[in-house]
Chain A
């Protein structure tokens, strides 16, 4: 059941918060030993909170709705490990602002979800907590870094989750798990109480089954977004810039075809498509790396000095790399970003949304470090940068919307809007989902147990 449908049933009294929580806990118990999407579950606390909620007269829009949050987001009294050994035993004293907002809307936090170590990677294969497994094929990754959020949503363990996204970490697992994810604009949702990756680019946002679900969660996190109220507006006349360069040689042909088919659906709904070139698109990944690596290293410097051996090898290498980039690299990154933003601003004078495949490939097998593109073996980490960094660097709201299955695995369409126009992004995604059912398709793991 979608989050929106569950919220309606709870509101109508057809189901109690305790029943909703108990149902999720039963599914977690049955399915998560395979998927490993949760790092910790607050079973007793969530049931007690559900009972307490039933006794209060206030009923917010998420009254009684069970949610779970990536384990970089603080929940008072629960451990925040960030998927690391370094933060083992780190119990949060207070809720992150995002959790405060969800609770104020009536949501109940069931637990903390698996993540790439310190949210600094795109596979969610923590050496400390084990890999989160993709419900569509447990031998494959969920993507990351919010891999647990994608897996738990896809397997119907919980109807809505929070992830975080610095350079793709909401969109990648949403795409790979066949669910809907929204990276909000930078600054739309408070990051207080969230373990940082790189302050300039960090965002907190929803992963859920549908655009409607994401709108409900976003409105709880940031009411000014007013996303739910805008969903019904339709998209006739909406100008969609098709980012031609991302439909070329860097993307699997079948994945690109699925994204093109989704664009045809948008056109049939009245959107006006136009091929566009994004200035400095090819450099966007390098610009983001110049800033992100240095910020991440700065955030971790005390632990790099004292706990270096406690990082997993991949995260350790990337954090160490930031030590060797001079200050001038960071400034060059900021100057190049300014140029990039100017180009994007001009482009958004002509179009309302930008569209591209959310990811260039289907999820690789756990442990595979390369992906095959037109017969070439390409490092997975490098393959995804051109499809994710451009929108992070721009500070844009961007959704990954399920748009097909390729060889039995989900693929997605990315829709990016002007800063703080999440409502437009979600309106377009909702319009697409009203005439397609890709977001309703469930993996076998969601039927087990």
Chain B
């Protein structure tokens, strides 16, 4: 997981690949949400020992 904030353009492209077409305001709201979550998820990856299975 890359903790860096993605751009609106990247988000729009990823959404389009899944058949979803959010507008600019939607993507700005998503960015605000991800800004908090992505660093936490990146940190989580580092906490799980390699041998841990799902």
B-binding residues in A (CB < 8 A): 280, 283, 286-287, 289-290, 301, 304-305, 308, 313, 316-318, 320-321, 323-326, 328-329, 331-336, 338-339, 382
Contacts and interface: CB of A to CB of B under 8 A. Distances in A.
A317 B48 contact: no
Interface string B1-44: 10000100001001100111110001101101110110011011
A325 B49 CA distance: 21
A328 to B, nearest CB: 7
B54 to A, nearest CB: 4
A321 B33 contact: yes
27 contacts: A286-B37, A286-B40, A286-B41, A287-B44, A289-B37, A289-B40, A290-B44, A301-B18, A304-B20, A305-B20, A308-B21, A308-B22, A308-B26, A313-B29, A317-B26, A317-B29, A323-B15, A324-B30, A324-B34, A329-B1, A332-B1, A334-B54, A335-B54, A336-B48, A336-B52, A338-B52, A338-B53
B14 A323 contact: yes
Given A335-B48, A382-B36, A320 B20 contact: yes
A336 B43 CA distance: 11
Nearest to A342: B52
Given A323-B18, A324-B30, A339-B47, 16 more contacts: A283-B43, A286-B44, A287-B44, A301-B18, A301-B20, A305-B20, A313-B29, A317-B30, A317-B32, A318-B33, A321-B37, A324-B11, A324-B14, A332-B1, A333-B44, A335-B52
Contact of B48 (A316, A318, A325, A339): A339
A308 to B, nearest CB: 7
Instruction: Specify which of A317, A329, A333, A339 lies most central, judged by the most chain B CB atoms within 10 Å of its CB.
Output: A317
Contacts of B36: 382
